[in-house]
Every structure is written in C-alpha cells, then in structure tokens.
Structure 1
Amino acid sequence: MTNDSALATLPNLRDLGGHRAADGAAVRRGLVYRADALARVDDGDFAALSRLGLRQVLDLRTAHERTAEPDRVPDGAEYAVLDVQGNHSTGGDLERLLTDPGAAAEALGGGGAAAFMLEVNRVLVTEPDANAAYSELVRRAATGPTAAVFHCTAGKDRTGWGAALLLTLLGVDREVVFEDYLASNPRMDRLRGAMRRRAERHGVDGDLLEPIIQVREEYLAEAFAEVERAYGTFDAYVSKGLKLAPDLITTLRERMLEG
C-alpha cells in the first residue's frame, strides 16, 4: 500500500514510510502506519488491512469514542489505548458541538471553530495525558512489534501530531512534515459529509463545522509554536515533556531509517 492509495472505508490509512530525512535516509515502509478509526472498515478493506501484517493497533481516541465505535482489530495484533485527551474538555466538546445547535453557534461562530482547533493542537503538546500517550507511541514505534498502526477518529489531528512527532524525530524536513499532515484533506470527503449530515440532523449549521473537519497549515504550526513556548526547543519537548531518553530515539532511527 502506497501513500497514494486509499481504502474506501479507511481512507486516511497510509504508510508513514517513504519520506526522506534531511540527511538523505529514507523512512522504511511497512513498519508504521497512520489511519482513521478502524471501526467502520468493511470486510473487503479489512482483508486488505489484515494483509499488512499488523501486530499493534494503537488507539488515540477517548473512552467515549472507543465505546461508541470499537475498532476492528486484525488477528494477531495487540490493541492498546493511548488516549491523548483523557478527561480534557477538548475531548468531549466535539460531541456536544455536533448535536447542540446553540452550543455550536456560540462556540464555532465568529472564528470560534478555528480557535477551537488551535486550542486542540496546543493541548496535544502540553497536557500530561497527551505527553504520556505520545511518549508511549514513540516507544512502541521504536521497540514494539511491527507493523503498527496508530489512529484517532478522522486520522487528522491527534494522529496528525503523532505523525509529525515521529517524522520530526526521524529528521524529516518540516516542509515534508506539513505535506504529510495536509494530505489528510482530500481523503476526508466521506467523513466530512457524514459529520455534516449528522450535525444538520440535530439542527447544527454544517458550515460552522468546516474548520473542524479540515486540517490547515496553521493548526500544525500552532502545535510547533506551542512546543517552543512551553519547552523552548523540540529536543526539550522530547526530553522534558515526553521524557524520552536519547537511546530510545537512536533505536527509533535505527529501526525506521535506511540508506
């Protein structure tokens, strides 16, 4: 499966490999994948997913999301919860905004939707639940059995920061990291339509949701800016926020880089 291919019922599944680090080394394919939730995968796409030989499924979603839509986990794969939002308010707010017209209008109107997304990206960098989950994601990518897939619901925000973190640790240029992040947009037409229909059934103006059901360059930029505000440098974020030892990062690079 290449970064250009997509499964109809798992459209944001893609290999983290194939990118090239600044020193010319390539990120190995077939080791770590990013995806949207594995809950609605049809049988044909599930068979294709199973052929990847997955041995870890790493779920970044909240307890509510996991209960409402449990993953379909391929045989032989360990399932692990790495809840990056825990009880933080941004984890539960989206559900309310999709179903409460008054709350949606108040929170998302007048630029509120974009502001909400910027806050989500700051939280992913600084909240203890997020730091613990992303630290475990890196550890499992470096030392756990492969192939592995990590995902949230749409595979764009929580998963997007996880991918940006891993690619940055592997030495991939920031420009390429942003390209990988923005590649979610054309893959989300199905989800975008489903979210709008669900919101509109509850009387919520679907147009209010557009900033939430997209990825935008400024969202990921805000996460990197929060790294600098909170920790000073990306390396300090890794060592002090994620509490990852240099030896583990070396192990990650040895596993995932070639050439």
Structure 2
Amino acid sequence: MTNQARVVLPTAPNFRDLGGYTTHDGARVRPGVAYRSDALHRLSDDDLRALGGLGVRQVVDLRTEFERQSNPDRVPDGAEYTSLDVQGDHSTGADLVAVLSDPARARTVFADGGAERFMHDVNRILVSGADARAGYAELLRRVAAGPGATVFHCSAGKDRTGWGAALLLTLLGVPRETVFADYLASNGRLAHLQESFRAAVEGAGVDLELVWPMVECRTSYLETAFTEVEKVYGSFGAYAAEGLGLAPGDLAALRERMLE
C-alpha cells in the first residue's frame, strides 16, 4: 500500500507523513504521529504555522553540528527541539562543503566511483556506528512517548532520515518492498535541491558526474544498510535488541503508539 497521507509544505518538499502504510498482519500505521522531512531552516512562515497545526510537538534533528549551526531549524511554537547527530565524529559526517570547495581534493575523494562508495559507507555507518545506534534508539523512544507528533529530519531528508524511516517502518511490520518505496520517494521530491547542488558543484569547478551519486536515493544504498544489519547482528530483531538496546517494552510502546 502506498502512503495516502499527503501533506504539502512547499518550503520542505520532502516532508511527509509515515502514516497510512499497511503491515504484514493487516494493521495500519497511524497517520499524524511521525513525520519525516528535509531540513526545516527554509520553512516559510505559512509552512511553519502549518507544521504547528499538525500537532508537531517534537523536532528531532539528525544533522551534524556544522549543518545545525549553518542552517538552524525553524521550530513550531511549543515544540521541543532535540539534536541527535547520527554521524558524530565519523568521517562520513565531515563537512562536504569543504571538500567540494577544493576541486582537486574533490577529484581525489570522488574519483573512480568514490561518491558511490561514500554512500554505501554512510549506510553501513548508519546501522553500526555508535552515534547512529544511540541516536536512532532515542528517536524511536521519543516517537513512542510523544507528546504530540514528531518530525525527524536531516538536510535532504533522504539518507539519515531515510534509514530512520526504514527502521521505524520495519519495526512496525511494514513489508520490505513498501519500505523501499518510501525510501525511493525522496527522488521525486528533491528536484530543486538537486538543481542547487548542480549549480554549486559546477560553480566550484567539480565534475558533476563524480558527485551525482550523492544526491540520489538508490535501491542499492538501502540494501547495503539491511545487509549490514544481517552481517553484524544476524537479524533485524537482534539489531533492535543488541544494536539499539531496545527492550520489548520499548517496541510494544512504539507499536501501541503507531499502529491502528
């Protein structure tokens, strides 16, 4: 089942409700509880009011410190803001702007498929990195506890947010093909960001083809994350219990909150 819950925020085009999906056993993910998004620093006044009108009471920012300081979120009145940097000090969380501002360095870093390798590395780290495991566990507990709705996001809302959404939906029992469809839906929502990236890269004198794999969601990237789960933990259940430290009560609370 595709997600029928459609909320449009023109200044956050990758904002969407995770509700509406059907699980393996026929339950439905409750709309209006958890939203995924791209960054919220661009929100217009109208979209900020709309976000508040959806009952959003928690904003969880998965970005690095550099990203947060450069582009601080706009948060609805009365909402709690929390930063959960899921990349931390790992090299995949480094400031890519610095790399792209140096064409010679960028050619070295991204040569011979380097950008694609980087994306696979990111997806592995989002599963097994210590900062990622702590951050995603806290995100899930916050979604389960409320109050009100939670929106979680990174910059484009496709990779760090994409794994957060895949993790949440998988734990709720949503079929894998639906999880992948939700992940890939970012590609149709980020045209303006891709064009901005194109202009910045070309303006910096960097070959666009070298770095283009970084602006797309690809099935292979998410497959890498699920493969990392199996490789490191053996199963998704073991990943939740051992990797994320989620107790049975945590998972029960999440399902109680999110399923109808």
Match of 2:105 in 1: 103
Q: Alpha-carbon deviation of 1:7?
A: 2.1
What amino acid does structure 2 have at the position aligned with 1:46? L
Q: Alpha-carbon deviation of 1:89?
A: 0.6
Which shifted more, 139-148 or 239-248?
A: 139-148
The sequence identity of aligned pairs, in percent, is 58
Q: Measure, in 1, the Cα distance between the counterparts of 2:32 and 2:89.
A: 33
What amino acid does structure 2 have at the position aligned with 1:189? A
CA contact (8 A) 1:2 1:14 kept: no
Question: Deviations for 1:182-201, whole angstroms, at most 9, x for unmatched residues?
Answer: 00001000111111212222
Is there any run of 5+ residues in structure 2 with no aligned partner, and where? none
What amino acid does structure 1 have at the position aligned with 2:41? A
Match of 2:71 in 1: 69
Q: Alpha-carbon deviation of 1:5?
A: 4.5
Q: Alpha-carbon deviation of 1:45?
A: 1.9
Question: Deviations for 1:82-123, whole angstroms, at most 9, x for unmatched residues?
Answer: 110111111115223322211221222321111110000000
Match of 1:80 in 2: 82
What amino acid does structure 2 have at the position aligned with 1:27? V
What amino acid does structure 1 have at the position aligned with 2:119? M
Match of 2:214 in 1: 212
CA contact (8 A) 1:32 1:146 kept: no
Match of 1:18 in 2: 20
Aligned with residue 176 of structure 1, among 178, 181, 191 = 178
Aligned to 2:112, the other structure's residue is in SS state helix
CA contact (8 A) 2:6 2:17 kept: no
Are positions 1:90 and 2:112 aligned together?
no
Could you tell me the TM-score, scaled by structure 1's length? 0.96
**5 Å matches for 1:219-234?**
219-234=221-236
Q: Alpha-carbon deviation of 1:209?
A: 2.1
Match of 1:29 in 2: 31
**5 Å matches for 1:96-135?**
96-135=98-137
Q: Alpha-carbon deviation of 1:3?
A: 4.3
Match of 1:163 in 2: 165
Aligned with residue 152 of structure 1, among 154, 158, 182 = 154
1:211–1:192 Cα change, 3 Å: same
What amino acid does structure 1 have at the position aligned with 2:236? F
Aligned to 2:81, the other structure's residue is in SS state strand
Q: Measure, in 2, the Cα distance between the counterparts of 1:23 and 1:115.
A: 36
